[in-house]
């Protein structure tokens, strides 16, 4: 029961989890805010770039389509009816995750936090809120069928744990400047 909830939650969120990590590897180039400031601080900061956002989104969508191909064997192996991703839902999950992270940077700059500063709570859940909000708008029926209250609870418990583990791992591997 718990196992199938976690499996469903993880499967459904992979297209939202991976974009931010792909952006870390692909980031660089022109910042989205073009260097502009607002009220004495950068609008978003140098950590939010066009390239990171585009590559992150594409990687998330590609992963969703790859998961669709693996759905049957994975569902059979786990004894769970794993969700499949229609293209609009895949785009919403991936791009929504990137937008949630961008929104968090906007809030960080407004609260005087420099690029790279931690914002506990927001850092771990910004992309989840962005992904779920976007997919709820773009594919409401799919979102409601997939993210039942129990699956949603699993997502909210599991995501911060996964976020901490992947970011500390990326930091230890030298891929990321901060462990958050």
Question: Which residues are near ligand CTP by CB under 6 A?
Answer: 23-24, 27-28, 45, 47-49, 52-53, 98, 101-102, 105, 108, 115-117
Please, which of residues 83-112 interact with K ion by CB under 5 A?
Answer: 101
Q: Around Cβ 149, how many Cβ atoms within 10 Å?
A: 7
Which of K ion, ligand CTP, none is residue 53 near (CB under 5 to 8 Å by kind)?
ligand CTP
Minimal CB distance residue for ligand CTP: 52
SS3 annotation, 117-131? CCCCCHHHHHHHHHH
Q: In the chain, which residue ranges form alpha helices assigned H by DSSP?
A: 2-26, 50-78, 87-110, 122-138, 140-146, 149-172
What's the closest the beta carbon of residue 123 comes to K ion, in angstroms? 5
- Residue 48: Cβ-neighbour burial (10 angstroms; 0-12, 13-18, 19+): buried
For residue 132 the two structure tokens come to: 């779920």
Q: How far is the CB of 131 from K ion (least distance, A)?
A: 14
Beta bridge partners of 49: 31
126 vs 139, which CB is nearer to ligand CTP?
A: 126
Residue 12 C-beta: closest distance to K ion, Å = 21
| Minimum gap (Å) between residue 47 Cβ and ligand CTP | 3
Residues that bind K ion (CB under 5 A): 101
């Amino acid at each position: 029961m718990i196992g199938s909830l976690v499996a469903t939650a993880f499967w459904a969120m992979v297209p939202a989890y991976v974009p931010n990590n792909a952006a870390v590897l692909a980031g660089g180039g022109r910042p989205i805010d073009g260097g502009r400031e607002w009220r004495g601080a950068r609008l978003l900061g140098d950590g939010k770039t066009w390239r990171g956002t585009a590559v992150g989104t594409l990687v998330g969508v590609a992963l969703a389509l790859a998961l669709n191909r693996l759905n049957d064997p994975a569902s059979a192996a786990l004894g769970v009816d794993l969700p499949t991703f229609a293209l609009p839902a895949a785009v919403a999950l991936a791009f929504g995750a990137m937008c949630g992270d961008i929104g968090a940077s906007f809030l960080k700059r407004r609260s005087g936090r420099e690029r790279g500063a931690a914002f506990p709570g927001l850092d771990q859940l910004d992309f989840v809120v962005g992904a779920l909000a976007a997919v709820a708008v773009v594919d409401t029926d799919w979102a409601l069928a997939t993210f039942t209250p129990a699956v949603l609870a699993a997502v909210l418990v599991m995501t911060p744990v996964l976020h901490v583990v992947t970011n500390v791992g990326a930091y230890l591997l030298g891929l990321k400047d901060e462990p958050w």
